[in-house]
Structure 1
Amino acid sequence: MTEKDQAIPAVEGPLLAIELSQRSGGAAVIDDSGDLHTVGFEGGRRDRDDVLPGIHAVLARAGVAASTLRCVAVDVGPGGFTGLRISIAAAQAIAEVANATVVGVPGAVVAATATAALGETLGEIVVLSAAKAGTAWRTRLGRDDTDRCWRIIGDPGIIDRPDDRACVAVLADEHVPSELVRSTVSDSPVHSPSFDAAAVARIALGGGPDLLVHADPARLMPIYPREPEAVRRWRSRPAR
């Protein structure tokens, strides 16, 4: 899924990571010494912008200038349209100024890494997200060692029926239809997913084939399981 896998393991701090695929998000910085600094914020507020001030705050806390960043990582979804648009645009702008590599981290990998209930879990899991009209976006992931990162298995995609393949755990929020959470072949525990910028940072530094790595920030794109509603409405507008 990446055009230059070799770049990820070679990336060193300072690194900025941004998480805003959900309503609550945050930013993290790994400095030159490898220390992690984090700050949380809310996204999509109409009364004020907390995202850029939050990014400035965590950079200041880490003693890192934006212009010295070597890498900017961001959760690319699936997730909220507005949050993804804001966070990816911020990552692109900062990376452009710093001449830094951008790393897109799939949201399912972030969820699997950040959810504490999966800390000792091995085997295959399923992450269900982006629920709409009785469907959801399914991503299968697996690992055989708790010291290793979760890896995507097969191709993620939209489902409209229960899974017919066993897994050891399911991550799904309250918006995913219960009939999709249930498996036809196993009674797996279901956990609510967590997302945080620290996980985005750790995944980016860990490297791997699931990351979307670009030297050109403009090439970084979100993962949209469906056409965004705003785009759909634009396409369906009456002709003039």
Structure 2
Amino acid sequence: MTEEDQATPAVEGPLLAIELSQRSGGAAVIDASGDLHTVGFEGGRRDRDDVLPGIHAVLARAGVAASTLRCVAVDVGPGGFTGLRISIAAAQAIAEVANATVVGVPGAVVAATATPALGETLGEIVVLSAAKAGTAWRTRLGRDDTDRCWRIIGDPGIIDRPDDRACVAVLADEHVPSELVRSTVSDPPVHSPSFDAAAVARIALGGGPDLLVHADPARLMPIYPREPEAVRRWRSRPAR
């Protein structure tokens, strides 16, 4: 075991998980007994904040005080800029108060775990997300046992052409161009991805090399395939 491995904090319950990479999200708590409690909410509303009340509600339902949390896990994307910003900031603040470990879970792993159509799927799959201007963010994942977590294969990245490697399934929403969903070597089924906080919680407790685990909440960062539009506009503003 390397020095870096020894320094990685443990991931254990009570654990709070937050999912807000999409418009609809939620929170989940795994209590000290291993029981799962969930609540759903909408993110990015202008008229009211449903996120923090939802987090407070699921903690109360689980009988867990925020100060006793050992871990706070959150989907770190790719996903909606506003939702990721809100959920990651909430995770950081709660973890800071509780002195809890933070766990960043890549959105592709959440999608593979939460999508019902992949419940019995084995082999290699592709998750396409963050579509823009004829491109998308591609993540390959695989597993050889349904009792195991999906693991990322290789390095995710932006693609602008059909895949040339076989897979058993593709996850892609309606925004991904159809030409990117097609494969040049196979014709896998295409499913719309699902995301939920319960999956984030299960993945975090399951551990693995794809998780971003930090003792310092400030180190938790989102996965942005491209520079956020708000940042791009700020950089391109006229000099005064």
Per the TM superposition, whether the score is higher than 0.5 is yes
CA shift in 2, pair 1:236/1:93, >3 Å:
same
- Distance in 1, matches of 2:80 and 2:21, equals 5
Q: In structure 2, what is the Cα distance between the partners aligned to 1:213 and 1:155?
A: 18
CA spacing shift, 1:26–1:6, aligned 2, 3 Å: farther
User: Deviation digits for residues 104-156 of structure 1, max 9, x if unmatched?
Assistant: 00000000000000000000000000000000000000000000000000000
Change (3 A) 1:98 1:9: closer
Contact map agreement 1:172 1:193 (CA 8 A) in 2: yes
- Alpha-carbon offset, residue 4 of structure 1: 5.4
- State the TM-score, normalizing by the size of structure 2: 0.97
Deviation at 1:12, TM superposition (A): 2.1
* TM-score using structure 1 length: 0.97
Query: 1:6, 1:97 → 2: CA distance?
Result: 24
Aligned mates of 1:234, 1:7 — CA distance in 2: 37
Change (3 A) 1:5 1:96: same
For 2:188 and 2:154, the matched residues in 1 are separated by: 20
Q: 2-11 or 209-218, which moves further after superposition?
A: 2-11
Native 8 Å contact 1:8 1:205 kept in 2: no
Q: Residue 32 of structure 1 aligns to a residue in which SS?
A: coil
Measure how far apart 1:6 and its partner are.
6.1
Output the CA distance in 1 between the equivalents of 2:192 and 2:150.
17
Number of residue pairs aligned between Structure 1 and Structure 2? 240
- Residue deviations 1:142-185 (CA, integer Å, cap 9, x gap): 00000000000000000000000000000000000000000000
Unaligned runs of 5+ in 1: none
Distance 1:70 1:220 in 2: 16
Residues 1:113 and 1:135: Cα distance change in structure 2 (over 3 Å):
same
Distance 1:4 1:26 in 2: 32
Instruction: Flag the 1:135–1:2 CA change in 2: closer, same or farther, 3 A.
Output: farther
Structure 2 Cα separation of the partners of residues 30 and 238 of structure 1 = 49
* Contact 1:161/1:180 (8 A) holds in 2: yes
1:194–1:158 distance in 2 versus 1, CA, 3 Å = same
Please tell me whether the aligned partners of residues 9 and 215 of structure 2 are also in contact (alpha carbons under 8 angstroms).
Answer: no
